Amino acid sequence: MKKSIGIALPTGLLCWIEPVNATLGDWNMFVAGIDGYPGGWVAFKVDLATSGTSVELVDLPSILGNKPSDLASLAIDIPIGLFDGTRACDKAARKILGNKRGTSVFPVPCRASVSAKDHDTASVTNLHRTGRKLTLQAWGIAKKIKQVDNAISPLNQKWAFEVHPEVCFWALAGERPMRHKKKSKDGINERLALLLTVFPDIEPHLQTRPVGVGKDDLLDAAVAAWTALRLWQGEARQVCEPETDEKGLAATIWF
């Protein structure tokens, strides 16, 4: 039988969540972290029975549309829940990460702008709806945001959750932001050292990662998987209380 777990948030609020794990049969399942890369989506999977890990390219919209029977929880590095304005969870995540790493949490596009045909149109739409133009960085993942937004529903959010890798690394490091940029050599080594403490077999995955997947992409997927594991165990927290968008999606960031 599940029991609700009280989680103390950084803001001092209390958030009650339901552990994803429920029965002994779940040990025949897996959790996964998903990160986008230029060619699509990469998954870092953790087998709950053996703690073994694997990496594969996946069709994320298909997973959201038809959940695999052996999937326990999924942590996705993509904004979920879109508004004509600033999301509270993004502001909370920036506060947690501080000035240096907080810039990695960029303003999320509004729903109307992710359907635009080009950056200029999207930026004008975003300016009209939110009062701010759309950055090239945000436009770069607009198609992926739209893919997930089209596929996800409030029902999915019982097992599929938004994460931000830098917030996850902050948590894994004992609530300390990363010192180096994630694509730099020092940044890769800093994040890898942390992940080795929870996934000792991760290094071979870096060497044999799929074509087109960067080292930082794989490490981001791995730390998302660590959070998916925490979600399954009922140990994950949120940066703030969720907001609900017009589709009924809860917008928050887990770690």
Query: pLDDT tens, 54-69?
Result: 999 999 999 999 999 9
Beta strands, E only, the chain? 5-8, 14-17, 30-37, 40-47, 53-58, 71-76, 160-162, 243-244, 250-251
pLDDT at 28: 85
Phi/psi for 172 (5° steps) reads -65, -30
Interhelix angle 185-196/165-172, rounded to 10 degrees, is 60
27: Cβ–Cβ under 8 A, 6 or more apart, which residues? 48, 49
pLDDT at 73: 98
What the block records as the tokens of 255 is 């770690």
- Into how many domains does the chain fold? 1
Query: pLDDT tens, 66-98?
Result: 999 999 999 999 999 999 999 999 999 999 999
Q: How many CB atoms lie within 10 A of CB 201?
A: 11
Helices then strands, counting H and E runs in the chain, come out as: 9, 9
Per-chain mean pLDDT for the chain:
91
User: With a threshold of 0.95, does the pTM exceed it?
Assistant: no
What the block records as the tokens of 239 is 């940066």
Domain that holds residue 155: 5-251
- Asked whether the beta carbons of 87 and 245 are under 8 A apart, the reply is no
Distance (Å, whole) CA 24 – CA 193 = 32
pLDDT at 25: 52
Residue type at position 26: D
The pairing of strands 40-47 and 53-58 is: antiparallel
